[in-house]
Chains A and B, each alone.
Chain A
Amino acid sequence: MSDDSSAADADADLPEGVERRPFGGRERLSTRGAQVYGEPVDSDGWRAWDAGRSKLGAMLELGMDTGLVGGESVLYLGAASGTTVSHVADFAGPTYAVEFAPRPVRDLLGVAEDRDNLFPLLKDARDPESYAHVVESGIDCLVMDVATRGQATVAVRNRQFLADDGRLLMAVKARSEDVTAEPDDVFDDVLAELDSAYELLETARLDRFHADHLGIVARPK
């Protein structure tokens, strides 16, 4: 809980537990928790959330309406070494982090050691049945950053974890689907495939922070 009410007012659209605070003379997003990737930490224990290294950070920075309020349950697919999911666990409730490459999971374990609500899973997001016995139903927020071919299929397969009023927050990397195609064509295909399971709420190019990425906010149909 924040005792800094003036900052909380200015951050009305940000989830509880995410604040804009000054770091090196610049207002930056931040969460409160143990340091993870060498990001600046202020004297109150808030650590800067680098939107250039985090697609979800970029979505928040760009003012997308993520529906995040703080304290929600999260299923995060493509956690890698935990850069973004560490910030998520700082402000969210139970946070399940799926990653299928062993090397980054080693780092993710270190991040989870410092956070009571972060549950690392070395699993393949294309095979949700391999973690459906662990991840609870009725998840409030499904975050996806798998940067691999078939990103839309993964989103559709993992729809079953989401509560009916939950949110899908997804970053699509055009080059992961097809290095030669025009990003816009790739995004159109992904959105068309998502349509079978999700209602689209908002999309925005993340190019200011991540070249050829599309941020998507959707809810289950």
Chain B
Amino acid sequence: MTDAWFAGADPDDPESGATRVRTGRAPAPADWPAEAVDAGFAADETDYYAKLRSATLAAASEAVAERERADDVQLAHAVRAMDDAERTANELAERVVEWAGTLYEEVPRGLDGVRDIAERDPKTAAEERVVSYATRAVDLLDERDDLRAFIEERAPTTAPNLAEMAGPVLAARLIALAGGLESLAKKPSGTVQVLGAEDALFAHLKGRATSPKHGVIFTHEYVRGTRPGDRGSAARALAGKLSIAARVDHYSGDYRPDLHAELADRMETIRARADEEADE
């Protein structure tokens, strides 16, 4: 029995060869073209290379799709974990600062206070506990930073256009909120615009509030940095291009500089409008 990729593959079905190309192994190469002809898998060398070509093309394209699918799931988990770490660290910090205030004279507020406490040399059993507790909070903050670094490194390969346009962290958040790059790519831009504002949207549908103009994309400079009266247009423009970016990333993966230039132009127009009015 040979280890060849074509061993056990159906000569007329490139898919079966593709699976073998992806999962097979051999301790050493051999004269596969000759073996394939001897085994009757291929009529001659030319036929062998044609079959090899179909199988490797199919194998590579499946493997790429699978690896990339897996990557967006990793990003989504990482950004949720980053938010958990941050929220929990803040919670612990509150307790640390409050507790440490009863033991030490000067305690800086917030996360700075926690880092400060964690550095101290405990002298009593109570101090030992509060310093230890502060250390856990600091570890969590470090973990949050590591998660952010991971996202910043991964997002540009998983979703190059989305990461460039939204920044890696917001890109990961959008992917997480949509439930993956593929579902993000399939959402209309109006939905992308309000992703993360589900509560507000629900209230609106119940007739209790006006419709939300933006969800998490509010954190983007293009929205937050635009004057309130124009934020709706800014959010719409940004969401429109973000959903195109998600589609390009999911379906082709090419980096498209033109997309980013178009958005920059559009934003300039929206902001110029405000400047003009201010000049009047």
A and B are interacting partners: yes
Q: Is the CB of B29 within 8 A of A161?
A: yes
Which segment of B30-38, B83-91, B139-147 sits at the interface?
Answer: B30-38
Specify which chain B residues have a CB less than 8 angstroms from the CB of A134 in the assembled complex: 5, 21, 24, 32, 52, 56
Can you list 9 A-B contacts (CB < 8 A)? A102-B71, A109-B60, A109-B61, A122-B63, A133-B3, A133-B5, A134-B52, A137-B31, A161-B29
In the complex, A23 has a CB within 8 A of chain B: no
In the complex, the number of residue pairs spanning A and B with C-beta atoms less than 8 Å apart equals 93
Given contacts A116-B50, A133-B4, A136-B31, contact A109 B25 (CB under 8 A): no
Specify which chain B residues have a CB less than 8 angstroms from the CB of A160 in the assembled complex: 28-29
Interface SS of A by simple majority:
mixed
In the complex, B99 has a CB within 8 A of chain A: no
Known: A116-B53, A133-B20. 13 other contacts (CB 8 A): A102-B63, A103-B68, A106-B64, A107-B253, A112-B53, A119-B52, A119-B53, A120-B57, A121-B59, A132-B26, A132-B29, A134-B32, A136-B31
Which of A94, A107, A161 is packed against the most chain B CB atoms within 10 Å? A94
Which of A106, A122, A129, A138 is packed against the most chain B CB atoms within 10 Å? A122
Interface residues of B in 246-264 (CB under 8 A from A): 252-254
In the complex, A108 has a CB within 8 A of chain B: yes
A161 and B60 CA atoms in complex are apart in Å by: 21
Q: What's the minimum C-beta distance from B275 to chain A, rounded to whole angstroms?
A: 38
| 8 tightest A-B CB contacts, nearest first | A133-B26, A137-B29, A132-B26, A102-B67, A133-B24, A119-B56, A122-B63, A120-B60
Number of interface residues, chain A, beta carbon within 8 A: 30
A161 and B29 CA atoms in complex are apart in Å by: 6
Q: What's the minimum C-beta distance from A101 to chain B, rounded to whole angstroms?
A: 7
